[in-house]
Every structure is written in structure tokens, then in C-alpha cells.
């Protein structure tokens, strides 16, 4: 089916996924506000969108590949804020994509027609480059990339590193997760080194809990020569990381930290694995029950970093205990524009993502989101948007 159709104004329409406040309300009513029963696939629906005019600094892209991202689940569940409602009743989600440039505005110098590019989700950099808001989420008027075509500002694009050794699906897995992992790592390492300088301790113990961002975080830690531990419930994902020398810990052996006994047993296992030291750096993108496990696992002077709250937004901890152990808790968000370029330069050499075994079609995107939320995937979920791929990426399709 063609992506395009002429609209009444003579403009161009593109198929794009939308999340509406109306669909959220209907699904919430159906399940009596029980978020565990919400069917995300019934909320994310195909829509048509009129593309904006290409302004002097804009680039039009044909979207080739996207990956499923959790903030779409947050938007559909309305579990953080009801972002669709706050943005007037409808959002067009999707904040990472690989695309082909099809048109450039007259003032665009970095890109030309035919280039293969990545989008990023830093929606509005603050004075220091960190995002005030996220593209296709809380950035006003931002239109996402779960669409067949899009018009974006040139500042939102990075050249895709087609020679990096990754295939197209692996490249598509990284635009959101790699910069996040890169940012988490440089923050955690910087804070740890204020307390424990390199000359006193060169090799760190680094722990992260399941998920794509955490996997990349550990690849970076391992690349820098540290001991890395991956606590996940998925045997496939643990096996994939073991090939990088990253030690797997089965989270289900500790009942996903359902009660204090499980957390204590996990603490004991961590002590065993680290010869009594514990983890100098912990990455926890989930919170909820995972948070207590991360605190127990921390070494003296440990640093706990997070940019996610997949299981819970609120945490409580014993401030006296954390002070005595001198633990630092840090909260990060997406990267700066410079950091995004730096993270992209590590595709293939450091970041080698694990991909889910099904590549979803564009029409199956809602199912990909639902299966991600239900934790049924064994790697990062990828959605093929374009049927016919440009020549430049054809050799990269497995």
C-alpha cells in the first residue's frame, strides 16, 4: 500500500501512528484503571498525518527502520503523565529512526538527498545541551517517527555509520538507547572517580539490570576493561552478553526481588561474585523492586545511576545507611547533541546490540509494543517501515 496520498490542500499525507487521549480513556475504562491489564496495542493506532513544509533548515526523510521504545508505553499507559491529554488529545510517537534523506531545505549543508541518517530524541537542548524535553513526547508540536515519512530539523539528524560493522536492524536499535547508555556511563564513571581515583583502583565492578540500555552500558564498561555483571531474567540475553565476557546473573533465581529475603540472597551472591567488594557502579533503569537490589549490591563509595522508571517512579532508601556507605544516587536523562555524536561513533566497535528474533512489519508495530511491555522479547524489537530499501543499506539487511 502506498505511503502517500494527496490531501485536499494539495499537501502530502504520510501514514503515522498516533496515541489519543480518547483511546487511552476507553482502554482505561475497559480494564478499570488496572495498568497491568491495559492492551497497549489497542491504543497505538495507524493514522494519517499532513507533513509540514520543508523550511530552510529542514530535511525530509523516508523512514526505513525504527525500534520500539518504552516511552511509547509510558505515553499509552499514561503512567508518568497523560502526555497525549496534555498535548491537546493526540500525539504522534516515535523518537528513534533510521531514514533516507529525500529533500533538504536550501540552508541545509550537512546532509544531501540519498544520505542515510539517524534521528535522536533530544527535543529541546538546555544551555548545557541536555534535553529539557523529549521529541515526540513532551516537546510541544513535535511529531514522531513511527511514520513512513517525516520532516525534521537538520540539528536532529546524525549520519548513520553504515561502515561500522552492524547490520541495519542493529543500527536501528541504537539511536535512543546508545546515547542514553553513553550518558549514564560517563556520569557514573565521573562520579565514582571523584571518590575512588584510578591510581587507587583501576578495575571496577559494574552491574546493570535487564534491558537494551543496560546491555549497552555494560558493553561500554567491559570495553573499558572493567568487570561487568548483567542481572536479567532472560537466558537468551544473558548468553548474548556472556560472549562479551559479561557475567550473567539470573534475576529469576531471586524471584525478581519480590521480598527482602530475595534481595538479601542477591546481596550475598554479589559479594560472592566480587570477592566481598560489591558493585562500584550500578545501572538501574527499572526501579521498583530492582532499586533495593541495586542498593544492596553497591560497594562502599558506589554510584547508582538511572534514567528509567519502568517498574516504579518513586523510591525510598535509608539515608543513614547510604551515607555510611557513601553511596551516590544519580538521575540522568537523554544525552547532549555532542554526546549523541560520541555515542554514535561507538556503534559496532563497542555497541553490538542483541536484536529480537522477529523483525516486525510496520502494520505490526502495535503488537511489537505490546510484546515489549509484556517482556516477551529476547532482544531489542525492530520494526521495518520501508518495504523497498535504498541501495546504500541493502548489503546491511541480513
Binding residues vs ligand NAP (CB under 6 A): 70-71, 176-177, 180, 210-214, 232-234, 237, 251, 256, 285-286, 290, 307-308, 310-311, 333-334, 372, 375, 380
Give me the least distance between CB of 67 and ligand NAP, in Å please: 8
Give me the least distance between CB of 392 and ligand NAP, in Å please: 27
Give me the least distance between CB of 136 and ligand NAP, in Å please: 13
Phi/psi at 52 (nearest 5 deg)? -70, 160
Closest CA to 94 of 112, 131, 67: 67
CB-wise, 302 or 381, nearer to ligand NAP?
381
CB-wise, 257 or 362, nearer to ligand NAP?
257
Strands 247-250 and 227-232: parallel
Tell me the C-alpha to C-alpha distance, in Å, between residue 240 and each of 234, 246, 355, 358: 10, 9, 10, 16
CB-wise, 60 or 70, nearer to ligand NAP?
70
CB-wise, 310 or 344, nearer to ligand NAP?
310
The 10 Å CB-count burial string (b at 16+, else e) for 196-217 is beeeebeebbbbbbbbbbbbbb
Instruction: Tell me the three cell numbers of residue 241.
Output: 552478553
Residue 141 burial (C-beta neighbours within 10 Å; 0-12, 13-18, 19+) = exposed
Instruction: Tell me the three cell numbers of residue 206.
Output: 559494574
* C-alpha 284 chain-centroid distance: 13
Give me the least distance between CB of 235 and ligand NAP, in Å please: 9
What is the rounded end-to-end Cα distance, in angstroms, of the chain? 24
* SS3 state at 361: strand
The 10 Å CB-count burial string (b at 16+, else e) for 273-284 is bbeebbbbbbbb
The percent of the chain in helix, strand and coil, each rounded to the nearest 5, is 35, 25, 40
Give me the least distance between CB of 288 and ligand NAP, in Å please: 7
Give me the least distance between CB of 232 and ligand NAP, in Å please: 3
Give me the least distance between CB of 75 and ligand NAP, in Å please: 10
CB-wise, 130 or 317, nearer to ligand NAP?
130
* SS3 state at 62: strand
CB-wise, 151 or 372, nearer to ligand NAP?
372
Give me the least distance between CB of 130 and ligand NAP, in Å please: 10
Residues 119, 166, 344: CA angle, nearest 5 degrees: 40
CB-wise, 151 or 380, nearer to ligand NAP?
380
Bridge partner residues of 133 (DSSP) = 124
Instruction: Tell me the three cell numbers of residue 29.
Output: 475504562
Give me the least distance between CB of 168 and ligand NAP, in Å please: 19
CB-wise, 183 or 280, nearer to ligand NAP?
183
Give me the least distance between CB of 346 and ligand NAP, in Å please: 16
CB-wise, 67 or 227, nearer to ligand NAP?
67
Rounded Cα distance between 98 and 159, Å, is 9
Phi/psi at 81 (nearest 5 deg)? -135, 165
Rounded Cα distance between 104 and 151, Å, is 9
CB-wise, 70 or 222, nearer to ligand NAP?
70
Rounded Cα distance between 231 and 252, Å, is 9
Amino acid at each position: 500500500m502506498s505511503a502517500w496520498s494527496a490531501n485536499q490542500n494539495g499537501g502530502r499525507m504520510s501514514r503515522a501512528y498516533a496515541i489519543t487521549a480518547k483511546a487511552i480513556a476507553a482502554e482505561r475504562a475497559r480494564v478499570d484503571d488496572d495498568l497491568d491489564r491495559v492492551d497497549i496495542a489497542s491504543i497505538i493506532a495507524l493514522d494519517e498525518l499532513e507533513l509540514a513544509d520543508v523550511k530552510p533548515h529542514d530535511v525530509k526523510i523516508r523512514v526505513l527502520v525504527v525500534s520500539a521504545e518504552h516511552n511509547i508505553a509510558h505515553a499509552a499507559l499514561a503512567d508518568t503523565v497523560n502526555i497525549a491529554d496534555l498535548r491537546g488529545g493526540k500525539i504522534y510517537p516515535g523518537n528513534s529512526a533510521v531514514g533516507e534523506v529525500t529533500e533538504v531545505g536550501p540552508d541545509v549543508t550537512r546532509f544531501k538527498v540519498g544520505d542515510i541518517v539517524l534521528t535522536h530524541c533530544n527535543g529541546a537542548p538546555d544551555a548545557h545541551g541536555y534535553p529539557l524535553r523529549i521529541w515526540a513526547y513532551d516537546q510541544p508540536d513535535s511529531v514522531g517517527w513511527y511514520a513512513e515519512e517525516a520532516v525534521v530539523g537538520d540539528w536532529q539528524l546524525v549520519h548513520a555509520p553504515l561502515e561500522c560493522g552492524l547490520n541495519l536492524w542493529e543500527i536501528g536499535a541504537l539511536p535512543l538507547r546508545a546515547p542514553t547508555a553513553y550518558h549514564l556511563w560517563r556520569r557514573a564513571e565521573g562520579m565514582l572517580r571523584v571518590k575512588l581515583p584510578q591510581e587507587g583502583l583501576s578495575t571496577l565492578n559494574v552491574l546493570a539490570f535487564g534491558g537494551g540500555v543496560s546491555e549497552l552500558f555494560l558493553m561500554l564498561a567491559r570495553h573499558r576493561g572493567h568487570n561487568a555483571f548483567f542481572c536479567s531474567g532472560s537466558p537468551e540475553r544473558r548468553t548474548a552478553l556472556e560472549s562479551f565476557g559479561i557475567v550473567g546473573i539470573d534475576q529469576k533465581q531471586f524471584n525478581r526481588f519480590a521480598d527482602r529475603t530475595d534481595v538479601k540472597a542477591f546481596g550475598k551472591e554479589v559479594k560472592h561474585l566480587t570477592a566481598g567488594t560489591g558493585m562500584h557502579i550500578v545501572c538501574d533503569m527499572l526501579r521498583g523492586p530492582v532499586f533495593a537490589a541495586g542498593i544492596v549490591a553497591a560497594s562502599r563509595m558506589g554510584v547508582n545511576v538511572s534514567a528509567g522508571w519502568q517498574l516504579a517512579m518513586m523510591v525510598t532508601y535509608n539515608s543513614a545507611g547510604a551515607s555510611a556507605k557513601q553511596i551516590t544516587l544519580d538521575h540522568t536523562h537523554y544525552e547532549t547533541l555532542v554526546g549523541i555524536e560520541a555515542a554514535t561513533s561507538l556503534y559496532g566497535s563497542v555497541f553490538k546490540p542483541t536484536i529480537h528474533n522477529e523483525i516486525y512489519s510496520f502494520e505490526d508495530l502495535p503488537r511489537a509494543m505490546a510484546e515489549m511491555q509484556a517482556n516477551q522479547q529476547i532482544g531489542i524489537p525492530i520494526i521495518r517501515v520501508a518495504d523497498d530499501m535504498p541501495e546504500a543499506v541493502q548489503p546491511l539487511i541480513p
